[in-house]
Amino acid sequence: MSIRFDLTYTDIDACEFENRFDQLAKANQELMNKTGIGNDFLGWVDYPVKYDKEEFGRIKKAAQKIQNSCEALVVIGIGGSYLGSKAVISALTSPFFNEEPRAKRKAPKIYFAGQNISGKYLENLLALLKDQDVCVNVISKSGTTTEPAIAFRFFKRFLEEKYGKDGARERIFVTTDKAKGALKFMATEEGYETFVIADDIGGRYSVFTAVGLLPIATAGIDIEALMAGGKSAYEDYNEPKFEKNPCFQYALYRNELYNRGKKIEILVDYDPSLEYLAEWWKQLFGESDGKDGKGLFPASVHFSTDLHSMGQMIQDGPKNHFETVIVIDDDQSDIKVFRDEKNLEGLNYLTGWEIDAINEKAYMGTLLAHVDGDVPNGIIHLKKLDAFHIGKLIYFFEKACGLNGYLMGVNPFDQPGVEAYKKNMFALLHKPGYEALTAELEERL
């Protein structure tokens, strides 16, 4: 099994779920038949089987072109327009990807921009790339998001000054709506190569579209295998038998713990390469669940690092949380502890132990300690960390998130709450059209 969900270390007995099977089956049907709430955003459900093969081919060609002509690719986007690709690239490449020699990396360095409004970040990135050959993939579904629009203004000028308008055009790749938005308008006007985000796929569900695929392919990752993982998940997680469907099990487990009063779900990993997968997961569940005063607060910790910071709170703090642990069953490396003649730090008892095996003991020890501290632990076992399995895991979470929204009675595919800050920011920046709000907010500050 590529993904297995283990309920052993929760205080839930799987039999307790039986009275909720009908509800789960209904949610699954509404999702798969695209008849549930928010069904105008269910394009992601069958995307791994129905994706546009012509565009997929163009993505692979564009990735090759970027690989051949650039030392660095700057991916400009925010939220769902960058977290998925960052998550997959971080999970499947070396932790020191950008620092590795090109011959080993076999791909350009990948940088991200437009995911914040930090002048310091932007200035330093532009300075770093000054003497390098750069390509840009600007991604915005709406085509109007402020953060990436600001970053792109700088990188467009950067490329035009370096290569001229025609040269820059060869190095700019746009991923946006097929017809609307300022970015689409600009791409048409300037003649940039463009990839489309389908109308019925929201940002946080867009990893399998050009949004995720172009940066991922440019990093040298096998996107055919990633899609195959998504397709396999689409098929496997439609399995009606609860005991055979880990996605159903995960969706019900987190919903059940929520109903029992838990307020926070903490996603736990034991490898820094999963740090951004957790960031993507937080966005997925945070934007999907958090509505009408409902929802589990999605948090993440990276062990063993955070055992030395957050471990205390998880073990002994208020019991309002549970942990979902991602365990990768295959070893990532076979590096072993070696014997030291003097043994001054007393570590010789570990001679011959693989570092990964020590990490596994840290996981097992922590699991038992946290369970003893009354923190339920659900375990997601991922067989391997490769493109196929990451594709499968991404779809696993997307589907569980959709199911969970339906179980909670919220629309998991919109994000109306995100608009509030935007309106205030525009008003405070004196954007035309916001005059009344500007006056009201300035009065309050």
- Point out which span in 52-60, 86-94, 138-146, 259-267 binds ligand PA5 (CB under 6 A): 138-146
Asked if 287 is an active-site residue, the reply is yes
What is the number of the residue whose Cβ is closest to ligand PA5? 203
Query: Within 13 Å, how many C-alpha atoms sit on residue 332's CB side?
Result: 20
Chain centroid offset of residue 177 CA: 20
Distance CA 174, CA 9 (A): 46
* Closest distance of CB 136 from ligand PA5, Å: 15
Question: Under DSSP, is residue 351 helix (H, G, I), strand (E, B) or coil?
Answer: coil
**Distance of alpha carbon 439 from alpha carbon 147, whole angstroms:** 24
Give the count of beta carbons closer than 10 Å to the beta carbon of residue 313.
13
Which helix (H) or strand (E) covers residue 435, if one does?
Answer: helix 435-444
The least distance separating ligand PA5 from the CB of residue 201, rounded to whole angstroms, comes to 9
Considering the candidates 50, 294, 422, 423, report the single residue annotated as catalytic. Answer: 422
Query: Which position among 85, 140, 194, 232 is part of the footprint of ligand PA5 (CB under 6 A)?
Result: 140
* CB closer to ligand PA5 out of 203 and 212: 203
According to CB under 6 A, which residues from 280 to 339 bind ligand PA5?
287
Tokens, residue 353: 């132990």
Smallest distance from ligand PA5 to CB 370, Å: 31
Cα-Cα-Cα-Cα dihedral sign, residues 241, 265, 278, 358: negative
Q: Does 79 bind ligand PA5 (CB under 6 A)?
A: yes
In single-letter form, the type of residue at position 98 comes to N
Among 81, 85, 93, 273, binds ligand PA5 (CB under 6 A): 81
Q: Pick one of 86, 109, 141, 389: the residue that binds ligand PA5 (CB under 6 A).
A: 141
254 is an interface residue for ligand PA5 by CB under 6 A: no
Tell whether residue 415 is a contact of ligand PA5 (CB under 6 A). Answer: yes
Contact 321, 266 (CB under 8 A): yes
Nearest to 303 by CA among 381, 376, 371, 364: 364
Angle (deg, nearest 10), helices 182-190 and 146-169: 10
Nearer to ligand PA5, 78 or 213 (CB): 78
At closest approach, how far in Å is the CB of 324 from ligand PA5? 21
Nearer to ligand PA5, 279 or 386 (CB): 279
78 binds ligand PA5 (CB under 6 A): yes
Q: Maximum distance among all alpha carbons in the chain? A: 75
3-state secondary structure of 378: strand
Could you tell me the smallest distance in angstroms from the CB atom of residue 166 to ligand PA5? 27
Residues 147-186, one symbol each (x = binds ligand PA5 by CB under 6 A, - = not), give -x--------------------------------------
- Kindly state whether residue 249 participates in binding ligand PA5, applying the rule CB under 6 A: no
Please, which residue, 69 or 146, has the CB nearer to ligand PA5?
146
Question: Does the annotation mark 178 as catalytic?
Answer: no
Please identify, using beta-carbon distances, which residue of 45 and 310 lies nearer to ligand PA5.
45
d(CA 311, CA 304): 9
- The CA-based angle 103-108-112, given to 5 degrees, is 145
Token digits of residue 393: 């895991």
The answer for residues whose C-beta is within 8 angstroms of residue 307's C-beta and 6 or more apart is 362, 366
Among candidate residues 287, 392, 398, 399, the one labeled active-site is 287
Least gap, CB of 73 to ligand PA5 (angstroms): 18
Torsions phi, psi for 84 (to 5 deg): -65, -45
Tell me the C-alpha distance between 387 and 44, whole Å.
18
Provide, rounded to whole angstroms, the least separation between the CB of residue 422 and ligand PA5. 9
Contacting ligand PA5 within 376-405 (CB under 6 A): none
Active site (catalytic) residues: 287, 422
The contact set with ligand PA5 (CB under 6 A) reads: 78-81, 140-142, 145, 148, 202-204, 287, 415
